[in-house]
Amino acid sequence: MITLALSRSLQGDRIRRGDDFHLRQAIKSMCAFAEKDIHSGQLTHRRMTPSSPSTNHLPSQPVNGNNQQQLEKKIDFKSTLAMFRSIEAENVKHAKINHAASNPINHNQFVIDISNRLQTLLNDTIATFEISQGADDHKIEDLFHRISISYAKIPELRFMWLRQLANNHEQNARFAESALCHVHILHYAFELLKDDLLKNTSIHTTFHDTFGRLVSSNNNNNQQNQSTTMDSYDISGGHLPELTLPGILELIKICINQFEMAECYEWSVTLNKILVILLEIMDDHKQLSDAYLHLHKLYKITQFNKNSKLYPNYYRVAFLGNWGDSDLKNKQFVYKTPKLFKLFKMKEKIKTWYGHDVQVISNVKAIIQDEHSKYVHLTHVKPYICTNQQSDQNDFVSRSSEFQKHVNLNQFYYETAYSMNAKKLSDKVSEIYKRKVIVHVDGFFPNAKSRLQIIKEDEMILTPIEAATENMTEQISRLQDVCSIHPPDVAQLQMVLQGSVRATVNNGPKDIVNSFLREENRGKFNVQHVVKLNQKCLLFLYWCEKAVQLHAEHKRHDQTVFHIELEKGYEKVRELFEECLLFDEELATLNAQVSQ
């Protein structure tokens, strides 16, 4: 494995540059130090034929105990690691000499870079043998993912480690992540074969667009997929089943099936269309018939689940306190969890993964400065969808369906309400501020990994009237969603109306209008904010009326009394809004003030 990785890395990096001299010098340096270490007994020699790399030594699952000792007898990875460290040290010395001599061509630096890369690969490979039972699944994911990227120039091993990662996801019922691992393999295989098997330009464009939506997203900004650049491949491994047309067909079917299991039916539809294109090339009428029947079934399921589907939950996890030398220390991640995976379950999982001595907190201020304690700050976060005005024009992606609002996610947010100069949250909506924290992760969900590191945080403070406007916007969105369901879901309609026209708690629509839009209160707030809130309230009233009418048309006979209560509640809301809101000429006058 090491010989193969080394030779492929050297050839891939050097031959493309036509740097044969320094390729020979680099290999000569590597071999000299390897031979020296072998003769000195520091390296256990293991012969491997580069043309047929063995994959039996790689674990199909985490191992420990006696199995680990047996593996270490077969491959002395740590001695190999020591060898590359000695290579690096020796070449650092020569690099300094060359630099001092102003040598413009320095093959020693190249050897140092290769040594660093191989040390990282060896460290990760050793770590896979040392994983204990019950270890953090996400650590296993990170290891497998990094190793697969390390083999970017060797399709055989790249595919194998991606399959390892996919199997790990499947065992933990993370079917979307497992499917995306296979989509990565499919994408690589397609790129390697596009000039041989898929010469049709229109087909190539269709494939490229499809894989762009699945493997990356948002104009292909997914950093997790930068390693898929095809010019870094050593085009070999033609004997692999994935690098044939039947192999690609099989991969597509695997992806379709796993996306279905993940309830990502829309992506199953997308891949099924690709399958149809390939089957038409093959002129396979039997499989075409089956594919179209399956496509019909997927469309029906998608339509049926359109407004009732549940989506995953996401949690921000920050590792604080004394984590020693752990690679988690002072880092933050967003974890993707199954639907209906509540906060208390996440707390239990954290203690299972990281130990029962870990203190899970929901408030950073609650941390006691104890140098011996580990803390995890756990927060539920929601997907943050930028509007056209909030995002760069080139980065904006329109999300018209609920499914689109829950895929290709790289921003999440959480909110905290507080009152200025008060320890306790005020009861008055006009005194409640909102702190909104938006976190950006290194990649997009769903992903080949179920945990992504947070790389950036933005914080914004909303004034009371801005917070109230946002609350009204969310309420309007809920009304629009429930009114768009066909046939209407009466139970859900009742629940939304209950919180709209019969709300009795503080911060409800009536409380908001009284606090901000009564004539005696408007002058206390920014005119532009008043106009915006007024417009949202008018829109809210329109959708309330529409929802009440919809309930009247579809209610059961035994729900008549409840409907009468809803109508009474709506009338009270309408009367209050008519009393406080600005209409027509008044609103036009206020708008004119804003424009000035």
Per-residue pLDDT reduced to its tens digit, 239-248: 678 888 888 8
> Which of 3-17, 32-46, 91-105, 474-488 has the lowest average pLDDT?
32-46
What is the domain count for the chain? 4
Q: How confident is the model at residue 10 (pLDDT cuts 50, 70, 90)?
A: very low
Residue pair 319/330 in contact (Cβ under 8 Å)? The answer is yes
> Which of 61-75, 429-443, 564-578 has the lowest average pLDDT?
61-75
Q: Domain boundary residue among 424, 441, 462?
A: 462
Q: What's the pLDDT score for residue 464? A: 95
CATH assignment of the domain containing 291:
1.25.40
CATH assignment of the domain containing 501:
1.20.58.740
Q: What is the mean pLDDT of residues 462-486?
A: 92
**Do the domain assignments include residue 433?**
yes
> Which of 106-120, 286-300, 424-438, 516-530 has the lowest average pLDDT?
106-120
Q: What is the mean pLDDT of residues 574-590?
A: 78
Look up tokens 């985490």; give the residue: 62
**Do the domain assignments include residue 156?**
no
Q: What's the pLDDT score for residue 71? A: 47
pLDDT digits (tens, 9 = 90+) for 257-284: 999 999 999 999 999 998 998 898 888 9
**Same domain, residue pair 288 and 325:** no
**Same domain, residue pair 202 and 317:** no
Q: What's the pLDDT score for residue 372? A: 78
Cis previous bond, 104, omega within 30: no
Strand boundaries in 230-362, DSSP class E? 313-321, 332-337, 359-361
Q: What is the mean pLDDT of residues 72-79?
A: 48
**Do the domain assignments include residue 297?**
yes
Determine what percent of the chain is predicted with pLDDT higher than 70: 66
**Same domain, residue pair 360 and 455:** yes
- 582 Cβ contact list (under 8 Å, min separation 6): 517, 534, 590
Q: What is the mean pLDDT of residues 473-498?
A: 90
Q: What is the mean pLDDT of residues 155-171?
A: 91
Pairing of strands 332-337, 451-462: antiparallel
Alpha helices in 131-264 (DSSP H): 137-150, 155-171, 175-193, 201-215, 245-261
Q: What's the pLDDT score for residue 166? A: 95
**Do the domain assignments include residue 153?**
no
**63 has pLDDT over 50:** no
Q: What's the pLDDT score for residue 47? A: 31
**Same domain, residue pair 305 and 183:** yes
Cβ atoms < 10 Å from Cβ of 575: 10
**204 has pLDDT over 60:** yes
Q: What's the pLDDT score for residue 563? A: 93
**Do the domain assignments include residue 303?**
yes
**Do the domain assignments include residue 421?**
yes
Cβ atoms < 10 Å from Cβ of 504: 9
- Mean pLDDT taken over the chain: 77
Q: What's the pLDDT score for residue 388? A: 53
Helix count and strand count (H, E) for the chain: 20, 7
Look up tokens 């140098």; give the residue: 371
Bridge partner residues of 409 (DSSP): 445
Per the model's pLDDT, the better-predicted residue between 299 and 219 turns out to be 299
Cβ atoms < 10 Å from Cβ of 57: 15
**107 has pLDDT over 90:** no
**Same domain, residue pair 545 and 514:** yes
Q: What's the pLDDT score for residue 90? A: 60
- Checking 560-568 for CB contacts under 8 A at 24+ apart, the result is 562/494, 565/502, 566/494, 566/497, 566/498, 566/501, 566/502
pLDDT digits (tens, 9 = 90+) for 394-424: 455 667 788 988 999 999 999 999 888 777 8
Q: Domain boundary residue among 462, 477, 510?
A: 462
Alpha carbon separation from 126 to 79, 119, 143, 165, 221 (Å, rounded): 11, 10, 10, 16, 32
Per the model's pLDDT, the better-predicted residue between 116 and 573 turns out to be 573
Strand boundaries in 352-450, DSSP class E? 359-361, 374-383, 409-419, 432-445
Residues constituting the chain: 596
Residue pair 378/317 in contact (Cβ under 8 Å)? The answer is yes
**Same domain, residue pair 320 and 458:** yes
Residue pair 33/86 in contact (Cβ under 8 Å)? The answer is yes
**Do the domain assignments include residue 160?**
no
pTM score of the predicted model: 0.78
> Which of 144-153, 519-528, 536-545 has the lowest average pLDDT?
144-153
Q: How confident is the model at residue 536 (pLDDT cuts 50, 70, 90)?
A: very high
For residue 294, what are the domain limits? 173-309
Handedness of CA 422, 428, 430, 436 (dihedral sign): positive
Nearest by Cα to 94 from 11, 28, 187: 28
Q: Domain boundary residue among 309, 326, 347?
A: 309
Alpha carbon separation from 528 to 387, 461, 587 (Å, rounded): 19, 17, 11
Q: How confident is the model at residue 213 (pLDDT cuts 50, 70, 90)?
A: low
Residue pair 377/364 in contact (Cβ under 8 Å)? The answer is yes
Residue pair 273/295 in contact (Cβ under 8 Å)? The answer is yes
**Do the domain assignments include residue 75?**
yes
**Same domain, residue pair 290 and 372:** no
Winning range, highest mean pLDDT, from 15-24, 49-58, 381-390: 381-390
**314 has pLDDT over 80:** yes
Could you give the angle at the alpha carbon of 199 between the alpha carbons of 198 and 203, nearest 5°? 65
Instruction: Note the Cα 370 to chain centre separation in Å.
Output: 33
Q: What's the pLDDT score for residue 324? A: 78
Per the model's pLDDT, the better-predicted residue between 29 and 164 turns out to be 164
Q: How confident is the model at residue 309 (pLDDT cuts 50, 70, 90)?
A: confident
**Same domain, residue pair 451 and 420:** yes
**345 has pLDDT over 90:** yes
pLDDT digits (tens, 9 = 90+) for 350-403: 998 888 889 998 876 666 666 678 899 999 999 998 865 555 544 556 677 889
